[in-house]
Amino acid sequence: MEEKKKAFSIKHWAEGDRPREKLLHKGKTALSDAELIAILIGSGNREESAVELSKRILLTAENSLNELGKFSVKQLMKFKGIGEAKAISIVAALELGRRRRGEEALQRKQITSSDSVFEVMQPILGDLNHEEFWIIYLNNSNKILQKIQLSKGGITGTLVDIRLAFKNALEIGATSIILAHNHPSGTLVPSTADKQLTQKLKIAGESLDIKILDHLIVTQKSYFSFADEGLLS
């Protein structure tokens, strides 16, 4: 039994193969996703090393860090060798990565296309299992003044207060806005309700001289742009 334990213990590996030492001597980019997660959890279980356990966890998440980012602490604790502390470490690390992506997108500040809107909103909306409606407020140079969550709903929809949307725009001096919401189902087809809401906001904006530049439906990997598809004319 002792020999079996040693076989699965990282400390008995060649130094160049140990994740921590590998990162130290070869740099962070030399490590696989599983090796980076192994550093977070520190150890595996009686049958698996930390790296092997990490590989199995990633396999359950379709080898996707984006999918793994959706796992809850309780879901991660179902894996043998992952207690509450290790699960929290994984969740926290992936959340930091998500926030970093959001910050990098915001550094751009200026919206130049539907792609740039997606870069700003995907880290916020892409992984959610419920629907949220957000508004990006812009100045006359299309630079972001503010982005706010206007409403939060269930799996199939959310209610939007049109008056509140434009009250915020007037308060911060926005000259145009971009609408964005997610479809947890992954579909990129706008619903009748999506189209009706967009039209209501467009009409309300015209009376205040605040233009609706676009409305994006965001999923984890892609988006639908009302402007690109000619649905705002």
CA atoms within 13 A on the CB side of 57: 37
Sequence-distant (≥ 6) Cβ neighbours of residue 205 within 8 angstroms: 166, 177, 211, 212
186: amino acid identity, one letter: G
DSSP SS3 for 212 = strand
Question: What does the pLDDT read at residue 159?
Answer: 75
Q: Decide if 232 contacts 198 (C-beta within 8 A).
A: yes
The pTM for the full model equals 0.58
164: amino acid identity, one letter: L
The tens digit of pLDDT for each residue in 34-55 reads 999 999 999 999 999 999 999 9
> What residues are paired with 134 via a beta bridge?
149, 180
Confidence of residue 153 (pLDDT cuts 50, 70, 90): confident
Q: How far are the Cα atoms of 85, 175, 203 from residue 196, in angstroms, in the given order? A: 47, 22, 11
Sequence-distant (≥ 6) Cβ neighbours of residue 22 within 8 angstroms: 16, 30, 31, 35
DSSP 138: E
Residue with tokens 């040693």: 6
Confidence of residue 14 (pLDDT cuts 50, 70, 90): very low
177: amino acid identity, one letter: I
Question: What does the pLDDT read at residue 201?
Answer: 94
Average pLDDT along the chain:
87
Confidence of residue 5 (pLDDT cuts 50, 70, 90): very low
Give the whole-angstrom CA distance, residue 42 versus residue 86: 8
Give the whole-angstrom CA distance, residue 211 versus residue 226: 14
> What residues are paired with 181 via a beta bridge?
133, 217
Confidence of residue 224 (pLDDT cuts 50, 70, 90): very high
Q: Decide if 115 contacts 228 (C-beta within 8 A).
A: no
Confidence of residue 233 (pLDDT cuts 50, 70, 90): confident
Indicate if the pLDDT at residue 157 is higher than 70.
Answer: no
Sequence-distant (≥ 6) Cβ neighbours of residue 170 within 8 angstroms: 208, 210
The tens digit of pLDDT for each residue in 122-143 reads 999 998 889 999 999 999 999 9
Q: Decide if 213 contacts 111 (C-beta within 8 A).
A: yes
The tens digit of pLDDT for each residue in 102-126 reads 776 655 578 999 999 999 999 999 9
pLDDT > 90 fraction of the chain, expressed in percent and rounded: 68
Q: Report the first-to-last Cα separation within the chain, whole angstroms.
A: 72
Q: Which helix (H) or strand (E) holds 4?
A: helix 2-7
Residue with tokens 């509450």: 84
The tens digit of pLDDT for each residue in 166-213 reads 999 999 999 999 999 999 999 999 999 999 999 999 999 999 999 999
CA 211 to chain centre: 27
Strands 176-182 and 223-225: unpaired
